[in-house]
Copies of this chain bind each other. A is one copy, B any other.
Amino acid sequence: MQNSRKSEYQTKQKAQVLAYLEAHAERHVTAAELLHALTAQGTPVGAATVYRQLERLEAQGLVRRYTLDDRGSACWQYGGAEAKAGTCHSHFHLKCTCCGTLIHLDCGHLAGITEHVKQDHGFTIDPARTTFYGLCNACAETRKDAE
């Protein structure tokens, strides 16, 4: 494996995609949304290019790809500095199934889970892939009122 990477061009489209993901780092973004938003911005980017850029960004570890079990549409989220530094490997993520917010959870209690499961259950959890689904405070309240 080599760290050296082939010459990579700096294009407007690449900058646009990355900029949008960065600007909405707290949310997950679908390919369709990205496509539509860039078009609305007056800097339309082809679908193929969007997917290719996302694929590359994912390979570089700058964004993470999620798959909501709604339909077959995937979504991406900017991990940026954290993902680059690799700090996200040591904690878990909470994702609200209602509003889609992703919460980074740095907590010693939670960190012990990985060890516990490995020791007692013989299963190596991959925190980078594991996400807790549930309801955030705001959505829990809203739903409580609704029911």
- Copies of this chain, count: 2
Which residues of chain B have C-beta atoms less than 8 A from A126's C-beta?
A: 97, 133-135
CB distance from A92 to the nearest CB of B (A): 9
Q: Which of A121, A132, A133 has the most CB of B within 10 A?
A: A132
What's the Cα separation between A66 and B72 when bound, in Å? 11
Per the bound structure, the CA–CA distance linking A20 and B82 in Å amounts to 44
A49: chain B residues within 8 A (beta carbon): none
A116 part of interface (Cβ distance < 8 Å): yes
- Greatest chain B CB density within 10 A among A103, A110, A130 is at A130
Is A8 located at the chain interface by the 8 A CB criterion?
Answer: no
Q: Number of residues in A with C-beta < 8 Å to the partner?
A: 36
Of the A-B pairs whose beta carbons lie under 8 Å apart in the complex, a sample of 24, sorted by A's number, is A65-B69, A66-B69, A67-B67, A67-B68, A72-B72, A72-B73, A97-B126, A105-B121, A107-B120, A107-B121, A110-B116, A113-B113, A117-B132, A123-B132, A123-B137, A124-B134, A124-B136, A124-B140, A125-B132, A125-B133, A125-B134, A126-B133, A130-B131, A130-B133
Assess the B107–A110 pair: CB atoms within 8 A. no
